[in-house]
Structure 1
Amino acid sequence: MQSILWDYLNSLKGKKIAVIGMGVSNAPLVKKMLQAGLTVRVCDKRERDDFDGLSELESKGLKVSLGPNYLDGLEGADVIFRTPGVRPDLPQIANAVAAGAQLTSEMETFLDLCPCSVIAVTGSDGKTTTTTIIAGLLKAAGYRTFVGGNIGHPLLCEVDEIRPDDMVVLELSSFQLMTMRQSPNVAVITNLSPNHLDVHKDMEEYIAAKRNIFAYQDTGDKLVLNADNEITAGFASQARGEVTLFSRKKNLERGVCVRDGMICYHTRPILAADDILIPGVHNLENYMAAIAAVDGLVSDETIREYAKSFGGVAHRIELVRQLDGVRYYNDSIASSPTRTIAGLRSFSEKVILIAGGYDKHIPYDVLGPEIVKSVKCLILTGATSDKIQQATQQAPDYTPGNPEIRRCENLEQAVHTAHDVAQPGDVVILSPASASFDCFRNFEERGNKFKQYVNALEGVTAR
């Protein structure tokens, strides 16, 4: 039986392979390379004590460069697999490429080898939910569907299991897209706003990375764009393939929009907005993007049935519990102001908001007016507390005490403060508008800690 992966690995024999980062996406690939008898060096900034099973891999031929000077191990490499979190223009990488090394990644190689149609999603907000909805719709329609990229798991090592009539759905970050030179058959951009400016040089570089999701499409491919976002709407004129716009605010003659409470594709009513189980107008937009992506693949009836039953993705306005008449929601995924704004707009009442975290050097001025409008008590913790408080207090409609602002040393204290402040009928939501790296490894760990603290709270009768 022909093996796409092994044919590719055999093409690398005799070459020196460097893999930057022994993380989730690269670890399975490194093991496959060693099995194929390739010369592999892992370059990772972590120290030896941070790894499990490294000695076993070294016994099979793996070479390692660890610690602060880990990128020195790239010297002499013929092929370099970059992990998404490492910029491609670091001096050591640039020097290796100038010397003739090929720079690629697990995801780029997968796209080169994948034998079936690929739908990929990117954007500043809504990527994961939109990706999950698309994959769920395809599975409900009977397609064997593989999900990867930022969610799911690495797909390169599974490429031999994928058949031409299967479907692949990917969530792609700006870091993955920076060096991408191949685009999916269907590309979806949910929206774009300032994000990850702690890693990208500026907004222009961030936008350029996102553009790669469709830059290499052919005339037979499709690009799905948010017509309500100025940046994404501007991409339409740059596309080679078919462009489908979606809009929550405009009545589109062609595209996906809302008419009389119904999501319509062109003139065809497909789904009642009220039938979508997960709350928030941003999820209405996520469904519109997904409907555009699966047009011709999934029936309208399947879409309707799925929307009525899909309860959302963990850490995305996830109901944790109700205690003493207070609902606690985990929206830890909200690592940007726009994402938090979308979360706040999901509720008709004013909420108790827990916000703050790692500083990605993005502006918070847009968040202040929304907090004044939608928040009764703002509880701040983390490095961005000052920025969020300043944005709130400088909002045009702010008055002292509207909202009340409290500062806490950590997330656990913030949860207890929210519990003390909340009254029956209130909503408490963790929606940080900031990354998690000041205290947690990622937003999942932050969200799980929030759920742990909330579930440990005692009700009135227990106190």
Structure 2
Amino acid sequence: MNDKLQEYKNYIKNKKIAVLGIGVSNVPLIKYLSSIGVDITAFDKADEQKLGSIVKELDALGVKFSLGENYLESLKGFDIVFRTPGMRFDLPELLAAKEEGAEITSEMEVFFELCPATIYAVTGSDGKTTTTTLIHKFLTEQGYRCWLGGNIGNPLLDRIEEIEENHKVVLELSSFQLHTMKRSPNIAVITNISPNHLDVHKSMEEYVEAKKNILNFQDSTDKLIINFDNEITKSLSSEAKGEVVYFSRVNELDNGALMKDDNLVYRKNGIDTIIVSAHEIVIPGVHNVENYLAAIAAVIDDVKPSVMKRVATTFKGVEHRIELVREIEGVKFYNDSIASSPTRTIAGLNSFKQKVILIAGGYDKKIPYDCLGEIIADKVKGLVLIGQTGKKIDKALKDEIERTGKGSDIPVVYCETLEDAVNSASKQAKTGDIVILSPASASFDMFKNFAERGEMFKEIVNGL
């Protein structure tokens, strides 16, 4: 056990701890803290009936509970409060607890404090999961003992005693996780930044500031990988404290990961190392070329080019990301449920050379949808809309039609459920067509998360 971990165990042993949220990341945290023998109260807005068997499981460990609508009213008298990632840090109850003297933290913040291994972390508006997965695959294929966590894989704080100094840790981090971070990873990757999660963040400026915590606490020995083609990420280079490495799909770079003659190359001191040809990459789409360039830049000092090429030519992609579900009578159905923002849907539509039948719409994150009009007019032959954002997407197309005249022949159908939408799209489709679920919206109006939405889509398609 590392010294930091033993010190931390001694520090929290006699503390009174609150864990806010009994969800995916916090259940392992609660169990781990319980194993140390601390006094824990678990808080959640859901009641015991909704939470199900986990309440009995944690109760058996001696955990106390504060549940239901007014669950935060009893957040008083605690030494340490673990905030769940999706909860704003400036809730009145949290500010009151802080004023009272409580330390406000999170599972990820404590993990960063205690982790002895090199940490690679990825954030961005789009492409986080695929880039994180690629970095993990590159390092694992090279032979490192590698841990995957954050928004992908499993929470890692309860595995901290197994992680050693010579291991590698790869994390996907959301703006919610980063917002209150006080440490940054050794290798930080920002794939891109565009408007997202403005239903939770008070402004675009706050969203960007949250993302910046991935680099704010780096030092001169650390590395920042940023997208040269994205104006916001490119501007962050002036704030970096360590080495800056760019990646670019469309620009010439003096150093970094770039495209040259249809090859993905890494350029250093005027010497180009070819990693792989773009046409050899198994997963489709120019956005995945960008994800590969970001991952290559992150691991170039630790992974051989031949290993990276082996991954690129065999890896079939992450579930719910332009995932071919089934072909029925010559019609291909793709699941791109991960596309919870307009930019992500644009990238998905640009992956296909032909026009597609698009199923879109969902929970409204209060972000602009006007950028979708042009791509829909250019890349869509049938539009099926669901959810809160359906009308916004329809308006984006109508505005494009009014502006340019393009897209006026695209039939637009509104549906109440995903099942209705799939059936409608299926009826429109002819042999040779592509139907894709790429919502450009979050899932929370109908589903728990994008994965549940994608699973439901696959179940419906497989039942056609």
Calculate the TM-score normalised by the size of structure 2.
0.96
In structure 1, the partner of 2:351 is: 346
CA distance change for structure 1 residues 98 and 398 in 2, over 3 Å: closer, same or farther?
farther
Name the SS of the counterpart of 1:313 in structure 2. Answer: coil
In structure 2, the partner of 1:164 is: 165
In structure 1, the partner of 2:81 is: 80
How far did residue 73 of structure 1 move?
2.5
Q: Which amino acid aligns with 2:243?
A: E
In structure 1, the partner of 2:435 is: 428
For residues 335 and 157 of structure 1, what CA distance do their matches in structure 2 show? 30
How far did residue 270 of structure 1 move?
1.8
For residues 84 and 326 of structure 1, what CA distance do their matches in structure 2 show? 40
1:290 aligns with 2:291: no
Answer yes or no: is the 8 Å Cα contact 1:41–1:73 preserved in 2: no
In structure 2, the partner of 1:461 is: none
How far did residue 400 of structure 1 move?
6.2
For residues 4 and 27 of structure 1, what CA distance do their matches in structure 2 show? 23
Q: Which amino acid aligns with 1:148?
A: G
Q: Deviations over 1:6-29 (max 9, x none)?
A: 552331122211110111111122
User: Among 389, 402, 419, which residue is 1:412 paired with?
Assistant: 419
Q: Which amino acid aligns with 1:45?
A: K
In structure 1, the partner of 2:40 is: 40
Name the SS of the counterpart of 1:42 in structure 2. Answer: strand
Q: Which amino acid aligns with 1:414?
A: A
Q: Bigger CA drift: 169-178 or 47-56?
A: 47-56
For residues 261 and 2 of structure 2, what CA distance do their matches in structure 1 show? 53
Q: Which amino acid aligns with 2:125?
A: S
1:449 aligns with 2:439: no
1:218 aligns with 2:207: no
Q: Give 1:33-432 correspondences, 5 Å limit.
A: 33-51=33-51, 52-266=53-267, 267-395=272-400, 396-399=403-406, 401-432=408-439
For residues 129 and 259 of structure 1, what CA distance do their matches in structure 2 show? 22
Q: Deviations over 1:291-334 (max 9, x none)?
A: 00001111011111110000000000000011111111000000
Provide structure 2 residue ranges, at least 5 long, that are not aligned to the other structure. none
CA distance change for structure 1 residues 230 and 385 in 2, over 3 Å: closer, same or farther?
same
For residues 409 and 139 of structure 2, what CA distance do their matches in structure 1 show? 46
How far did residue 425 of structure 1 move?
1.0
How far did residue 399 of structure 1 move?
4.5
Q: Which amino acid aligns with 2:396?
A: A
Name the SS of the counterpart of 1:179 in structure 2. Answer: coil
For residues 363 and 23 of structure 2, what CA distance do their matches in structure 1 show? 22
Answer yes or no: is the 8 Å Cα contact 2:378–2:406 preserved in 1: no
How far did residue 36 of structure 1 move?
2.1
Q: Which amino acid aligns with 1:339?
A: R
In structure 2, the partner of 1:460 is: none
Answer yes or no: is the 8 Å Cα contact 1:5–1:157 preserved in 2: no
Q: Deviations over 1:82-136 (max 9, x none)?
A: 1001101000001111221111111111111101100000000000000000000
Answer yes or no: is the 8 Å Cα contact 1:392–1:398 preserved in 2: no
Name the SS of the counterpart of 1:446 in structure 2. Answer: helix
How far did residue 42 of structure 1 move?
1.0
Answer yes or no: is the 8 Å Cα contact 2:383–2:410 preserved in 1: yes
Q: Bigger CA drift: 85-94 or 260-269?
A: 260-269
Answer yes or no: is the 8 Å Cα contact 1:3–1:160 preserved in 2: no
How far did residue 2 of structure 1 move?
5.9
For residues 89 and 65 of structure 2, what CA distance do their matches in structure 1 show? 20
Question: How many pairs align?
Answer: 457
For residues 74 and 10 of structure 1, what CA distance do their matches in structure 2 show? 24
Name the SS of the counterpart of 1:315 in structure 2. Answer: coil
How far did residue 446 of structure 1 move?
0.5
Aligned-residue Cα RMSD (Å) equals 1.3
For residues 2 and 291 of structure 1, what CA distance do their matches in structure 2 show? 31
Answer yes or no: is the 8 Å Cα contact 1:372–1:398 preserved in 2: no
For residues 412 and 79 of structure 1, what CA distance do their matches in structure 2 show? 45
For residues 328 and 71 of structure 1, what CA distance do their matches in structure 2 show? 44
% identity of equivalent residues: 55
Q: Deviations over 1:243-265 (max 9, x none)?
A: 00111110112111101111111
For residues 243 and 398 of structure 1, what CA distance do their matches in structure 2 show? 44
Q: Deviations over 1:157-216 (max 9, x none)?
A: 101111111100000000000000000000000000000000000100000000000100
Provide structure 1 residue ranges, at least 5 long, that are not aligned to the other structure. 458-463
For residues 54 and 293 of structure 2, what CA distance do their matches in structure 1 show? 45
For residues 298 and 444 of structure 2, what CA distance do their matches in structure 1 show? 33
Q: Which amino acid aligns with 1:115?
A: P
For residues 49 and 262 of structure 1, what CA distance do their matches in structure 2 show? 55
How far did residue 3 of structure 1 move?
7.7
CA distance change for structure 1 residues 38 and 400 in 2, over 3 Å: closer, same or farther?
closer
Q: Deviations over 1:342-371 (max 9, x none)?
A: 000000001110000111111000111111
Answer yes or no: is the 8 Å Cα contact 2:397–2:407 preserved in 1: no
Answer yes or no: is the 8 Å Cα contact 1:71–1:92 preserved in 2: yes
Q: Which amino acid aligns with 2:135?
A: I
Q: Deviations over 1:26-62 (max 9, x none)?
A: 1122122223221111111111112314245335432
For residues 36 and 304 of structure 1, what CA distance do their matches in structure 2 show? 44
For residues 406 and 53 of structure 1, what CA distance do their matches in structure 2 show? 41
For residues 446 and 307 of structure 2, what CA distance do their matches in structure 1 show? 42
Answer yes or no: is the 8 Å Cα contact 1:134–1:293 preserved in 2: yes
For residues 153 and 60 of structure 1, what CA distance do their matches in structure 2 show? 21
How far did residue 402 of structure 1 move?
2.9
